[in-house]
Structure 1
Amino acid sequence: MSSRAARALALGALVVPLAACATTIGATAADDAANPACAPVMLALPDVLAGDLDKAKTNAQATAAWGEPGAAVTMRCGVAPPGPSPDCQRVESAAGAVDWIVEAGDDGTWRFTTYGREPAMEVVVPPSVTENHSTSFVGDLAQAVGNVPATAECS
């Protein structure tokens, strides 16, 4: 075996165990996850949310997560677009404005669903994240979400 082949084999042996350590967050793909409009959104997502929530791997198409298992913000592209709602809020950021339907669950979970965009995106923030973070980081998603043009806005 050549020294080059031996080095490649040794490097390969190191990469496999490191890849096995990568955290994967369980997620469920949305019904329209295969929509081609989801791809540019997913590719433009930030690597970090809220200053300290690192992007993690997910196990489903058109999904993303930031944080650790059991304490992760998750996002799905391709959810059913919601209709008009009094819970619609415009979130302004340097990257633009995005309208979100904002719902607080009885368990402390926050759900943000884009309004006026198809496919729609859903962001779920569990109470384990809101204990130490504001949900204002949804503004950090504007650049990525803006890859799907708005066709309606909050009234």
Structure 2
Amino acid sequence: MTPRSRHLRTGLRTGLGIILVAGTLLLTGCTAIVPLEPSKDAANPTCADLIVRLPTSVASLPERETNAQATGAWGAPAAVLLHCGVTVPVPTTLPCLNVNGIDWIEDDSEAPLYRYTTYGRDPATELVIDSGKVSGSTVLVDLSKAVSAIPATRQCVGVEDLTIPTDGGPAVPAP
């Protein structure tokens, strides 16, 4: 092999290497990882059952990679964030919506960001949805199948479903 052919061969390898590295960076660099913190109970095996069932798109938004266990994100920039393993909510006066058999507590105190937390499921799952970019109802429908991997142990009730004891004790569900 002549010095010139050796030089050409080395140049081709170097050029091919640069092209491969650049192509990899372009493919992976288009959407950065969404930085999230894991929830307190993120290591719960039931969260793993939910996470493996997450859809690749939600409300036509593409799935994003996250850096925390038991989380999910969709949209660029992320408009839907999911955390499994959040604190199980106690009864509340916040509105409760049932979407495809999943009870969600709706908190609109930070609108246009809406926070939805599953009710009656342990561990609980929380969604933060930017309602300026995506429809909350569409997101809840799209994620209902995955969330149903966590069995329901109770369901939301309305004030009309409660019995208020005459002795001043706490209200309880009517029989």
**TM bucket, shorter chain:** 0.7 to 0.9
Normalised to the residue count of structure 1, the TM-score between the two structures is 0.81
Give the Cα separation in 2 of the matches to 1:18 and 1:106: 35
What does 1:100-115 align with in structure 2 at a 5 Å threshold? 100-115=104-119
Cα gap change, 1:77/1:15 in structure 2, threshold over 3 Å: closer, same or farther?
A: same
Report deviation, 1:15. Answer: 2.9
**Aligned partner of residue 75 in structure 2, secondary structure:** strand
Counterpart for residue 7 of structure 2:
none
RMSD after superposition: 2.4
Normalised to the residue count of structure 2, the TM-score between the two structures is 0.72
Greater strand fraction, Structure 1 or Structure 2: 1
Percent identical pairs in the alignment equals 40
Are 2:65 and 1:57 aligned? yes
Report deviation, 1:105. Answer: 2.0
| 1:23–1:68 Cα contact (<8 Å) kept | no
Cα gap change, 1:99/1:107 in structure 2, threshold over 3 Å: closer, same or farther?
A: closer
Are 2:81 and 1:74 aligned? yes
Counterpart of 2:86 in structure 1: which amino acid?
V
Bigger RCO of structures 1 and 2 (CA < 8 A, at least 6 apart): 1
* Aligned positions, number: 143
Gaps of 5+ in 2: 1-12, 158-175
Counterpart of 2:151 in structure 1: which amino acid?
P
The counterpart of 1:15, out of the listed 19, 24, 28, is 24
**Aligned partner of residue 41 in structure 1, secondary structure:** helix
Gaps of 5+ in 1: 1-5
